[in-house]
Amino acid sequence: MKAFRGQPSIFTSKQPEDIRAELEVKNLSLHFGGVVALDSVDLSLHTGELLAIIGPNGAGKTSLLNCITGYYRAQKGEIIFNGQDITSMSTHRLTGLGIGRTFQNIELFPGISVLSNMLLARHIHTNYGVGLASVFSPAVRKEEVRHRQVLEELIDFLEMQAIRKMLVGSLPYGLRKRVELGRALALEPKLLVLDEPFAGMTLEEKEDMVRFLLELNEGWGQTMILVEHDMSVVMSISKRIMVLDFGKKITEGPPEAVQNHPQVIKAYLGEAVGIQ
């Protein structure tokens, strides 16, 4: 992995085991009463991959992410992460295992600064309690320096120096999306799960986000699952795409194969023309 901007990077100094993100979803089914959200879905993801999941509205994309990140419990199937069964694990345990997440609807604290929002994500890496913190011992000071180093590195990478002290609630929507990505990265996740990170963005903001995600994946080796409706973005950054429709996986493969697949065309358009 390469460091960005020619600077040493805490993230790029990680060992292979620190970034390992092997995910296996087997025969996953989820329903809400009589509504089938997921129907026997299989998925595999390997360390360093960027997998995009697409499909029409109501296809089950966010439901699948919610199962992987512990917000929903599937009625059937298994989710294995790095060899461990995480099917019924709580969200905080999954975060501790290295699964970070952004949301379709922004989940930030609008009344505090960008830096404070990101700092909250560092709690899983805190190794001291209230007692040591109250006296601000040398060990605490050393750990706080590392937390700040991680955050400053991310703020620099995401080009948020000018807004670092601003209240999140005062920022335009596109920048809040960027802050949410920064907070997820502050967890130092092995697997980064992104639910419509480009929604509501201007063209320029999308171009910036594409640049960030490609650097994360290709430069840092960050493993990612991406759910997105903007097909031009998906086709440009993904090496592999999985398509859901009515909770079923209808195909999976490289972008050039998926975009002209008859079932994908039917799911999106209902007629035999390719997705542009």
Q: What is the CATH number of the domain that holds 90?
A: 3.40.50.300
User: Does residue 276 lie within any of the structural domains?
Assistant: no
* Beta carbons of 225 and 197 less than 8 angstroms apart: no
Q: Where would I find the H helices in 69-214? A: 91-97, 114-120, 130-135, 138-157, 173-186, 203-214
User: Does residue 214 lie within any of the structural domains?
Assistant: yes
Tokens of 98: 């290295």
pLDDT for residue 12: 65
Question: CB 178: neighbour CB atoms within 10 A?
Answer: 22
Q: Is 7 exposed, middle or buried (0-12, 13-18, 19+ CB in 10 A)?
A: exposed
Question: CB 98: neighbour CB atoms within 10 A?
Answer: 20
pLDDT band, residue 127 (cuts 50/70/90): low
pLDDT band, residue 139 (cuts 50/70/90): low
User: Does residue 275 lie within any of the structural domains?
Assistant: no
pLDDT band, residue 8 (cuts 50/70/90): very low
User: Does residue 273 lie within any of the structural domains?
Assistant: no
* Beta carbons of 108 and 168 less than 8 angstroms apart: yes
Bridge partners of residue 220, in order along the sequence: none
User: Does residue 53 lie within any of the structural domains?
Assistant: yes
The predicted-structure confidence for 192-221, as pLDDT tens digits, reads as follows 999 999 988 999 999 999 999 999 999 889
Distance CA 251, CA 218 (A): 25
Tokens of 219: 């430069």
Using the predicted structure, report yes or no on whether residue 130 has a pLDDT greater than 70. no
User: Does residue 274 lie within any of the structural domains?
Assistant: no
- Per the model's pLDDT, the better-predicted residue between 27 and 4 turns out to be 27
User: Does residue 13 lie within any of the structural domains?
Assistant: yes
pLDDT band, residue 276 (cuts 50/70/90): very low
The total domain count for the chain is 1
The helix (run of H) or strand (run of E) holding residue 195 is strand 191-195
Using the predicted structure, report yes or no on whether residue 274 has a pLDDT greater than 50. no
- Per the model's pLDDT, the better-predicted residue between 67 and 264 turns out to be 67
Bridge partners of residue 85, in order along the sequence: 80
- How much is the pTM? 0.86
Q: By C-alpha distance, which of 30, 40, 26, 24 is closest to 248?
A: 40
DSSP code of 138? H
pLDDT for residue 180: 94
Distance CA 41, CA 63 (A): 11
Using the predicted structure, report yes or no on whether residue 100 has a pLDDT greater than 90. yes
pLDDT band, residue 107 (cuts 50/70/90): confident
- Per the model's pLDDT, the better-predicted residue between 189 and 106 turns out to be 189
Q: Find the domain containing 258 and state its range.
A: 4-268
Lowest mean pLDDT across 2-16, 77-91, 93-107: 2-16
Using the predicted structure, report yes or no on whether residue 257 has a pLDDT greater than 60. yes
User: Does residue 154 lie within any of the structural domains?
Assistant: yes
Which single residue is written with the structure tokens 């419509």?
196
The helix (run of H) or strand (run of E) holding residue 192 is strand 191-195
